[in-house]
Amino acid sequence: MAAKESIGFIGTGIMGAGMARNLHKAGFPLTVWNRTREKTCPLAEEGISVSESVRALVDASAVVVLCLGDTPDVEAVLFGEGGAAGGDIAGKLFVDCSTVSPEATKVFAARLAEAGAALLDAPVSGGSEGATKGTLSIMVGGAADDVRRARSVFEAMGKTVTHVGPHGAGQMVKLVNQILVAGSMLAMGEALNFARAGGLDLGTVLAAVKDGAAGSWTLSNRGPQVIADDWRPGFTIDLQQKDLRLVRETADALGVPTFGTDIAASLYRVLQRAGLGAEGNHALIKALGLPGSCR
């Protein structure tokens, strides 16, 4: 059996920490780095190495996985002062599991290729639960040979791995995913508000509909949280809103309508203004303001 390649993991936040743990459990030689070092402390206590800098991590790794907040964060880590591309990166494979601009991803891939390195855009879906359990869906854009090289890395973090096309295609499919997520959150909020205003028991309603034609991952996983007034994030409002911004920017460039996404983004903006951006994205129901709405 071939030795596992050394992995560097950058970004140990709400998603990245669970993903890094699963790589460690799978036996990959692993080093992590996070801008806020305190977030790496639990991983260090579990025996995972923590790097002092991005450059040191990249130098020690054959494959570098990124899980960061937004496009500028990825650009800074790759090409900023002290960033990954400042050293010899020939032969290294970068795997960007962040959700960022598809067009920027194409630029990043070209710049890394000039230095002899490769990039896969591999955004993920499944919330913090999927990151913890290793059951994420991973949408991968890039060269087929690089996807094959990274296959064991992906399988340690996710359950469904789909090569969807060239550079940028992974990010495009993730934006498709986020359109669907936003729509399902909006539909769930309207439905549960409707049920509560009508005097129905929400737990009974959920049991009645979750396995029928209206059933969804959102309803089964986030519906019980809404009913319990549990707003802990599997994915925060702030991150959801960032993704919807990317959807709307891309839709503007393509000239396609995104009516449902626009409504969801407007409601999330209300919640951000109220200081609720760190709550889970299922808290969209709080912005609907219908009679009997959840707290």
pLDDT digits (tens), the chain, 295 positions: 567 999 999 999 999 999 999 999 999 999 999 999 999 999 999 999 999 999 999 999 999 999 999 999 999 999 999 999 999 999 999 999 999 999 999 999 999 999 999 999 999 999 999 999 999 999 999 999 999 999 999 999 999 999 999 999 999 999 999 999 999 999 999 999 999 999 999 999 999 999 999 999 999 999 999 999 999 998 999 999 999 999 999 999 999 999 999 999 999 999 999 999 999 999 999 999 754 444 4
pLDDT in tens, 12-62: 999 999 999 999 999 999 999 999 999 999 999 999 999 999 999 999 999
Give me 291's structure tokens.
């009679």
Q: CA separation (Å) from 257 to 215, 242, 248, 264?
A: 26, 18, 9, 14
Q: Which domains does the chain have, with CATH numbers?
A: 7-167 (3.40.50.720), 172-287 (1.10.1040.10)
DSSP label of 61: -
Phi/psi of residue 20, nearest 5 degrees: -65, -40
CA nearest neighbour of 121 among 198, 184, 67, 199: 67
Is 174 assigned a catalytic role? Answer: yes
Measured CA to CA, the distance from residue 247 to residue 242 in angstroms comes to 9
Give me 249's structure tokens.
């920017």
Q: CA separation (Å) from 114 to 143, 170, 279?
A: 15, 21, 41
pLDDT in tens, 110-140: 999 999 999 999 999 999 999 999 999 999 9
112 and 119 Cβ atoms separated by less than 8 Å: yes
Among residues 25, 39, 159, 174, the one annotated as catalytic is 174
Confidence (pTM): 0.92
Number of helical (H) and strand (E) elements in the chain, helices listed first: 12, 9
DSSP label of 53: S
Measured CA to CA, the distance from residue 263 to residue 186 in angstroms comes to 8
Neighbours of 241 (CB within 10 A): 20
Give me 92's structure tokens.
């290294």
Residues 6+ apart with CB under 8 A from 162: 137, 138, 139, 140, 173
Looking at residue 53, its pLDDT comes to 95
Measured CA to CA, the distance from residue 185 to residue 183 in angstroms comes to 5
Burial of 253 (0-12, 13-18, 19+ CB in 10 A): exposed
